Amino acid sequence: MNESATLIYDGDCAFCRQSLRWGIDHLPWFSRYVAFQKINPADYGLTEAQVREQIWLVDGEKRLGGHRAAAWILSQQPTYGWRLLGSLITFYSPVSALVYAWVAKNRHRLPGGTKECSIDDRP
């Protein structure tokens, strides 16, 4: 388990906060975490646009976005089942990326989501 990794999430999104809370409550280990609204993304080697689009896991020079960040957290678990799930997400990365993108785009419609969870389309 890597104690220096930080998960960056959307602190204004109820669905994101609820998902984070689920992870903290149900996974044996969880990384540090911070809402992107409370940081300067450049300090983590990211842009404002990147942190608005998806979660990020930052660990030194490693930056994993979206489904890869979730898979990394699962792969750090002491429990085999969670690590296996993380491996499956990574193995099926193209499908996992599509699922993550769909959830991110529709998070305001999912349980716990609110209008604040909506991602505005940008030209």
State the average pLDDT for the chain.
Answer: 88
- Parallel/antiparallel/unpaired status of strands 6-9 and 32-35: parallel
In the predicted structure, residue 70 carries a pLDDT above the cut 80:
yes
Q: If DSSP codes are grouped into helix, strand and coil, which group holds residue 56?
A: strand
In the predicted structure, residue 90 carries a pLDDT above the cut 90:
yes
Give the torsion through C-alpha atoms of 103, 94, 92, 55, to 10 deg.
-40
In the predicted structure, residue 38 carries a pLDDT above the cut 70:
yes
**Would you state the pLDDT for residue 115?**
55
Query: What is the mean pLDDT of the segment spanning 74-80?
Result: 96
Enter the pTM of the model: 0.86
Per-domain residue ranges of the chain: 6-117
Percent of the chain with pLDDT over 70: 85
